[in-house]
């Protein structure tokens, strides 16, 4: 059975219930990460829970919903291996999978109604990644993520120090490559 994580804030709560029902009807196992009521909550908490699961590989795809979808998409895209796409129309949903291999669909609960949302979700789930030239473009995003991880590691480790030796920088870079899971690609014959 296919498993998909679903989460929302209060602005997306009602649409989350509708989408969860649709997914169950289609045979998906739902990992509901909240919220559990229309009471006001902070969207970053829910986007983080989903993004961490995607980054860790414990779920392959997820749906996030807030009032407009903007806050959820901004938050989720801060995590490695997350490609969250805000799609409030069917065409965007299709292209987000076809060209961007999105693994998180983000919807605006106050922007789209249940009928349109159902069409968006169905399209997003059924569309396969095209690969080819788009794979090269996704690799560029991964490289930017690596640069950001290296910057964070370097900043955290050497802040306040006056001298930094080459060995320490090499160690930090090796750790960043390991964190992103890019270390074994060359050894396994995978193309960079």
Residue 163: the pLDDT is 62
Residue 138: the pLDDT is 74
For residue 11, how many other CB atoms are within 10 A of its CB? Answer: 23
Q: Are 61 and 107 contained in the same domain?
A: yes
Choosing from 10, 87, 99, 151, which is the catalytic residue? 99
Range of the domain at 146: 133-179
Q: Which residues face 84 on adjacent strands?
A: 104
In a domain, 184, yes or no: no
List, for residues 5-54, the tens digit of each pLDDT value.
999 999 999 999 999 999 999 999 999 999 999 999 999 999 999 999 99
Q: Are 108 and 154 contained in the same domain?
A: no
Q: Are 76 and 108 contained in the same domain?
A: yes
Give dist(CA 186, CA 165) in Å, integer.
27
Whole-model pTM? 0.78
In a domain, 149, yes or no: yes
Strand pairing class (104-108; 29-32) = unpaired
Phi-psi region at 81: left, alpha or beta (left = phi > 0; alpha = psi -120 to 50): left
Residues in the chain: 192
In a domain, 33, yes or no: yes
In a domain, 185, yes or no: no
Choosing from 66, 87, 134, 151, which is the catalytic residue? 66
CATH of residue 74: 3.40.1400.10
In a domain, 160, yes or no: yes
Number of domains in the chain: 2
Residue 66 annotated as catalytic: yes
Q: Which residues face 31 on adjacent strands?
A: 5
């Amino acid at each position: 059975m296919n498993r998909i994580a679903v989460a929302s804030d209060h602005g997306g709560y009602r649409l989350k219930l509708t989408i969860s029902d649709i997914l169950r009807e289609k045979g998906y196992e739902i990992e509901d990460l909240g919220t559990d009521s229309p009471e006001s909550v902070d969207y970053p908490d829910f986007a983080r829970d989903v993004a961490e699961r995607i980054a860790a590989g414990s779920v392959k795809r997820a749906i996030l919903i807030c009032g407009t979808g903007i806050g959820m998409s901004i938050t989720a895209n801060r995590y490695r291996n997350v490609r969250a796409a805000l799609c409030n129309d069917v065409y965007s949903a299709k292209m987000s999978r076809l060209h961007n291999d999105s693994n998180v669909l983000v919807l605006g609960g106050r922007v789209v109604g249940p009928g349109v949302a159902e069409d968006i979700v169905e399209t997003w789930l059924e569309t396969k990644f095209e690969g080819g030239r788009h794979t090269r473009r996704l690799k560029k995003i991964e490289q930017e993520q690596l640069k950001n991880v290296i910057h964070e590691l370097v900043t955290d480790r050497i802040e306040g120090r006056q001298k930094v030796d080459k060995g320490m920088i090499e160690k930090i870079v090796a750790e960043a490559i390991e964190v992103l899971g890019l270390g074994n690609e060359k050894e396994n014959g995978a193309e960079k």
